[in-house]
Amino acid sequence: MKNILVINTGSSSFKFQLIQMPTEKVLASGLVERIGQQNSEIHYSSQGYSGTREQQVPDHSIALRAVTDLLMSPDKGVIKDATEITAIGHRVVHGGTTFSKTTIIDKKVKKEIKALFSVAPLHNPPNLTGIEVAEEVFPNARQVAVFDTAFHSTIPAKAYKYAIPNHLTEENHIRLYGFHGTSHKYVSEKAAQSIKRTDSKIISVHLGNGCSITAVENGKSVDHSMGFTPLSGLIMGTRSGDLDPSIIFHLVDKLGYSLKEVNELLTKKSGMLGLTGYSDLRDIETEAQKGNRECKLALEMNAYRIKKYIGSYIAAMNGLDILVFTAGIGENSGTMRKLVCNNMDFIGIELDEIQNNLRSKESRVISTETSKVKVMVIPTNEELEIARQVDKLV
């Protein structure tokens, strides 16, 4: 038996699971959310215990140390000391062209992850922090990186290339990479199993603080909304998603922004935060219900952008069997799912409102029996997918 600790560091969250392999038994799990905000919370569950506590968590380093204390706590913990951890699987967002598979972490790997900070500024830095803190706390464990970009290595050149001079793609590796790959892989495989066919056309919609959408044909990623970095595509918590690149030149040349300020604006001050003043969709939905016009419009804009991508991917794959919603918003927001699926009957999407409004942690179908396209909510389990890949490697 191996105890594998999976660390999944998001831009504003820190998820973890301690999984016993190969039985896939979860010994402990939890979530630190709203990192860097005033109302941070730590959710922790282990055998015989489940609880939440409010705690100021200014950064990811403090989040990991708080989780480690819980894992080894005399009353709530599941291990006595660090030597009981065989390996630690780290979700790393950007692997560039260097990493296309799960990799043992060494100094060279950490250097490459750091070199990609500029193209994944919200993710690779906390990913590396998680690795470095884990190396200190668990010095005897094998540290393993599982890259979000790996699943998207099957995207064809017609989809990953940008219409820029070829040498920039070939020599400087400027191309679409794709992200949230571990999540899209996990849920698309579960969706495909539900129709018991090897040939399938699936669109996976991952909606969290970061949002992305993937076209998956016959089990392989063939297109994806994020690109060279996790900035493009859907409207996100603090990221703008798609925009006219000339806006950047206008901000710099006409409005006096520095390039650093533009980067900060588009990655940390835009998206739903820029539109409403809130980055958490729960707050935005609450305000919209109170009649806040900005929040109502932001929800409509968000859903409209998702609809456009769904339409384009149906065209690219020449059809659709299953539409999957996953991640924090995708799994829990019936409001967002309804906004996306409304007026999509032309392409065969019919939502069952009763099923859509049910709250459940289980995978489920939320479309009507007559819907030509099966619509599903599948809770993502990136941690289990990471644990499986780590187990195979070590």
Contact between 195 and 232 under an 8 Å Cβ cutoff? The reply is no
According to the 3-state scheme, what is the secondary structure of 179-192? CCHHHHHHHHHHHH
pLDDT in tens, 20-49: 999 999 999 999 988 888 788 999 999 878
Confidence (pLDDT) at 166? 97
Catalytic residue among 59, 75, 81, 148: 148
Closest-CA residue to 124 (of 88, 148, 92): 92
pLDDT in tens, 326-340: 999 999 999 999 999
What distance in Å separates the CA atoms of residue 25 and residue 6, rounded to the nearest whole number?
13
Is 207 marked as a binding-site residue?
A: yes
Is 8 marked as a binding-site residue?
A: yes
**Dihedral of the CA atoms 120, 125, 127, 128 (nearest 10)?**
130
Copy the structure tokens of residue 193.
């199993």
Is 227 marked as a binding-site residue?
A: no
Is 331 marked as a binding-site residue?
A: yes
**Element spanning 33, H or E:** strand 25-33
CA atoms within 13 A on the CB side of 318: 2
Mean predicted confidence (pLDDT) in 301-317: 97
What distance in Å separates the CA atoms of residue 127 and residue 94, rounded to the nearest whole number?
10
pLDDT in tens, 260-270: 999 999 999 99
Top pLDDT among 53 and 200 is at 200
Angle at CA 219, nearest 5°, toward 218 and 222?
A: 80
Closest-CA residue to 223 (of 200, 204, 208, 195): 204
Top pLDDT among 162 and 149 is at 162
Mean predicted confidence (pLDDT) in 61-74: 87
Distance between terminal CA atoms of the chain? 12
Percentages (nearest 5) of helix, strand, coil residues in the chain: 40, 20, 40
Supply the mean pLDDT for the chain: 92
Mean predicted confidence (pLDDT) in 10-18: 83
**Strands 364-365 vs 374-377: parallel, antiparallel or unpaired:** antiparallel
The verdict on pTM exceeding 0.85 is: no
Residues whose CB is less than 8 angstroms from the CB of residue 25 and which lie 6 or more positions away in sequence, other chains included: 19
Give CA 357 to chain center in angstroms.
23
The answer to whether 223 is a known catalytic residue is: no
Is the model's pLDDT at 11 over the cut of 80?
Answer: no
Contact between 234 and 211 under an 8 Å Cβ cutoff? The reply is yes
Which domains, ranges and CATH numbers included, belong to the chain? 2-147 (3.30.420.40), 194-377 (3.30.420.40)
DSSP 3-state of 8: strand
Contact between 224 and 213 under an 8 Å Cβ cutoff? The reply is yes
Is 382 marked as a binding-site residue?
A: yes
Is 281 marked as a binding-site residue?
A: yes
What distance in Å separates the CA atoms of residue 218 and residue 156, rounded to the nearest whole number?
14
Q: Which amino acid is at 271?
A: G
At 101, is the pLDDT very low, low, confident or very high (cuts 50, 70, 90)?
Answer: confident
At 248, is the pLDDT very low, low, confident or very high (cuts 50, 70, 90)?
Answer: very high
**Element spanning 91, H or E:** strand 87-92
Confidence (pLDDT) at 169? 93
Is 271 marked as a binding-site residue?
A: no
Rg of the chain taking only CA atoms, in angstroms: 21
What distance in Å separates the CA atoms of residue 291 and residue 296, rounded to the nearest whole number?
8
